[in-house]
Structure 1
Amino acid sequence: MKVEGGCHCGLVRFEAEVADGPVEVLACGCSICAMTGFQHVIVPQSAFRIVEGRRETTTYRFGSGSARHIFCTQCGVKSFLTPRGRPDAMSLNLRCLDEGHGLDVTNVAVDQV
C-alpha cells in the first residue's frame, strides 16, 4: 500500500510502500522520540522516496550518531528518520502521513527503535 506524507509547511514530501494488513506503530521511549511524540512506521529504505524538498532538509545526530533524524529546514518537523538499530530502514512518523492513509495500526511501546 502506498502512503504519502510530509512536513508541516509542505516543503518536504515523501512516499513509501507499506505492507498490506496490520502495521505496528512503535512508540519509542528514547529521549528525542519521547519529547517529540514521534510514532514510528518502519519500512525498508528501498520502499521510501523523498518526492520534494530533499535540499530543504537537515540532519541531527546525537549519542552514538547512528540514527539520522531528518528535519525540514523551514518548519522544523521531523517526518522521517533512519533508525539507530535499523540502518537499512526508514521510520516514517505516523503523525506526518496524509489524512486518509488507510493504515490499520497497532501501537507497540519499545525502549528504542
Structure 2
Amino acid sequence: MEPVSRKHLASCHCGGVQFEVRLTDGLNTIRRCSCSYCRMRGAIAVSAQLDGINFLKGEDSLTLYQFNTKTAKHYFCPVCGIYTHHQRRSNPNQFGINVACLEGVSPFDFAEVVVNDGVNHPSDASSGPLIAGILRYSPT
C-alpha cells in the first residue's frame, strides 16, 4: 500500500490541464459507477479530498458538466475532451479523480473494479451505497 501523503502528478491528454493530487487512500478507492453519465464516460475514479488537488495549469479552462440534481460537478478539458475529475454527489467533500489522468497509472492496471449502483444512487435510497457488480480485466 502506498503512503497516504504521496502526491500524484496528473494531466489530461493534451496537457492543457495539469495538477497534482493527494489521494485519500492511494489507489485503494478505485471504482466505477453505473449512472447514465458514468456508463457513457467509462472512467475508473479514485478518491481525493477537496483540498487534495492543486492545479498547476489549466484550471481556468476546465469545462463543467452537471445533470439531473446538479449536485455532482464533472470537469473535463475543453481541448481534448478528457474527464479529469468530479466533485461527488455521494460525498460532496470529495473529488473522484480519473485514474487514467494519473502519471504512470492505467485503468488496465486493475484486475477488478467495483461498480457502484449509480442508477439507484445512495443519495436517493435509504439503504446506503449499493454495488451493481464487479468489472474484471484479464489481459491475454
TM-score class, shorter: 0.7 to 0.9
Partners of 1:15 and 1:49 within 8 A in 2: yes
Residue among 68, 76, 80 paired with 1:75: 80
Cα distance change, pair 61–21 in 1 and its aligned pair in 2 (3 A):
closer
Computing the radius of gyration over CA atoms, which structure comes out larger, 1 or 2? 2
Partners of 2:31 and 2:46 within 8 A in 1: yes
Residue 6 of structure 1: aligned partner: 11
Residue 116 of structure 2: aligned partner: 110
Partners of 2:24 and 2:47 within 8 A in 1: no
**Larger strand proportion of the pair:** 1
Aligned to 2:51, the other structure's residue is in SS state: helix
Question: 1:24 Cα deviation (Å)?
Answer: 2.1
Aligned residue runs from structure 1 range 1-113, under 5 A: 1-19=6-24, 23-99=28-104, 107-112=113-118
Cα distance change, pair 21–37 in 1 and its aligned pair in 2 (3 A):
closer
Q: Percent identity?
A: 32
Amino acid of the residue matched to residue 52 of structure 1? K
Q: What's the C-alpha RMSD, in Å, of the aligned pairs?
A: 2.1
- Larger relative contact order, structure 1 or 2 (CA cutoff 8 Å, min sep 6): 1
Amino acid of the residue matched to residue 40 of structure 2? M
Aligned to 1:95, the other structure's residue is in SS state: helix
- 5+ unaligned residues in a row in structure 1: which ranges? none
Cα distance change, pair 68–54 in 1 and its aligned pair in 2 (3 A):
same
Deviation readout 1:3-35 (Å, 9 max, x if unpaired): 111111000011111246661201111111111
Amino acid of the residue matched to residue 45 of structure 1? L
